Structure 1
Amino acid sequence: MVEWWWSVLGAAVPAVMAGQAFRTKKRRDEEERSNRARGREKNSDDIFVCERVCTSNRMLKKVGAFSKDPTPDTCVTVCGVSELDACADACARTVCVNQHQVPNWNDICLKRCQSECLRLSQSSVVSS
């Protein structure tokens, strides 16, 4: 007679494997996005890359509750050696300026803000 736990094990193994594959793909996509952003570093013609980040309603919706007490409708333009650096610094100065007591929330705020900043800078490059 077949034990009942074999059927549970048979259902659990594919679910665990699918979850692992999903996490691996997500991690690989994020690494690729970061590498692409790093790859857009300064050329011999460009000394700096400048990015402007504003605490608009759109940005605050993308970041969600991870930004703590942002000052609405403020903007900052920051220049750096890559779009990733410029976006990170601009986000830290505007959207994610106030630190959360929950340790991981500040990192999540910066990641979401950087992602939106890079996405917007790419859409402006494509449309230009």
Structure 2
Amino acid sequence: MNFLLFFSFFLTALFLKQKRIVLLSLYFSIFITGFVLLMPINLYFFTKNKFALSTSNFSTKNIIFPYKNTKSSTTFEYLQNGNLNFYSPVENDFFWSSGDGKLPCVNKNQIQYFNYYYKVKPQMRTTDLKDGFYSKSTSKE
């Protein structure tokens, strides 16, 4: 990959010796970047994934408050597994996604998967979330 990048940039530098061509390509790339950031683009021709069909565009209200962390809108259920109290999405399309739930937030299917295949379950180190988690072995249970 590094070889390809190096020689593609090298060949581009050989062909773009004139300052005018370099400036025109710079302005064109700035225009394209600005267009993608500010205009909504329909990505239906590129993908059929419902979460990737629309782009998140820049707006002035997002200078202070950023966009949501996810494009999925789901409800969450409050569950307990050992000393771990967590929020799990009720319905989601991806095994690894958890959406914008309150922390700690994890898909209950992930916890069941790790318990079944690896014989571990996540547990809180203390009652405070900032102290983190550890993997408790469930092979003896």
Query: Shorter-chain TM-score: what band?
Result: under 0.3
Say which one has the larger Rg. Answer: 2
Say which structure, 1 or 2, has more relative contact order (CA 8 Å, 6+ apart). 1
Calculate the TM-score normalised by the size of structure 1. Answer: 0.27
Larger strand fraction of residues: 2
Larger helix fraction of residues: 1
